[in-house]
Amino acid sequence: MINPGFYDSDIFDDSANGSEVAPNGSEAAPAQGYADAAPNAGYDGGPEPMPEPAYAQAPPADARMPRPAYAGSSTAAPAPEPAITVIFKDGRAAENIQNYMMNSRTLTNLDGQRYEQISLQEIDLAATEQANHARGVSFEIPSGALR
């Protein structure tokens, strides 16, 4: 539905010729563009901007920067853990393993470049535990391990 009062207005914008009719019927002055606007008399633009400080030139990206000498810590590196002795059920030679992980099924040898998984069923767990305990080496069998 059209509102009949919508087009009724006291102001007629005749922007095509740059003139407007004011509500009292007189013609208003044409609007000025920014380029045509006269500077405002008495306008104080504020103080002059401060000059930017002179910063030192940054070194080039490929420049080598001197590094401070490494202070290091005063404590010595921790001693490596003692190797465990693994005794096998089938009579093969006992094996010394320093870096290993163990779960309820396997003992994994991680020494050097070697990666070997040994089933706990192949290891005489009681003899291995006794041999390591006698040497003062901690060797704990995980709970739930296959015996």
pLDDT one-digit tens code per residue, 38-65: 556 666 667 777 777 777 777 777 777 7
Checking if the pLDDT of 32 tops 60, the result is no
Checking if the pLDDT of 119 tops 80, the result is yes
Decide if 45 is inside a domain. Answer: no
Counts for the chain of helices (H) and strands (E), in that order:
1, 8
Burial (CB count within 10 angstroms: exposed 0-12, middle 13-18, buried 19+), residue 101: exposed
Mean pLDDT of 136-142: 87
Decide if 110 is inside a domain. Answer: yes
Q: What is the 3-state secondary structure (H, E, C) of the chain?
A: CCCCCCCCCCCEEECCCCEEECCCCCEECCCCCCCCCCCCCCCCCCCCCCCCCCCCCCCCCCCCCCCCCCCCCCCCCCCCCCCEEECECCCCCCEEECCEEECCCEEEECCCCCCEEEEHHHECHHHHHHHHHHCCCCCCCCCCCCC
Domain count of the chain?
1
Checking if the pLDDT of 126 tops 80, the result is yes
Decide if 23 is inside a domain. Answer: no
Decide if 125 is inside a domain. Answer: yes
Decide if 102 is inside a domain. Answer: yes
Decide if 89 is inside a domain. Answer: yes
State which of 9-13, 67-71, 137-141 shows the largest mean pLDDT: 137-141
Decide if 122 is inside a domain. Answer: yes
pLDDT in tens, 67-85: 777 776 666 767 777 899 9
Checking if the pLDDT of 34 tops 70, the result is no
Decide if 112 is inside a domain. Answer: yes
What residue numbers bound the domain in which 121 lies?
84-134
Checking if the pLDDT of 21 tops 90, the result is no
- State the CB neighbour count (10 A cutoff) for residue 65: 5
At residue 2 the predicted structure's pLDDT band, cuts being 50, 70 and 90, is low
Q: Note the helical H segments in the chain.
A: 125-134
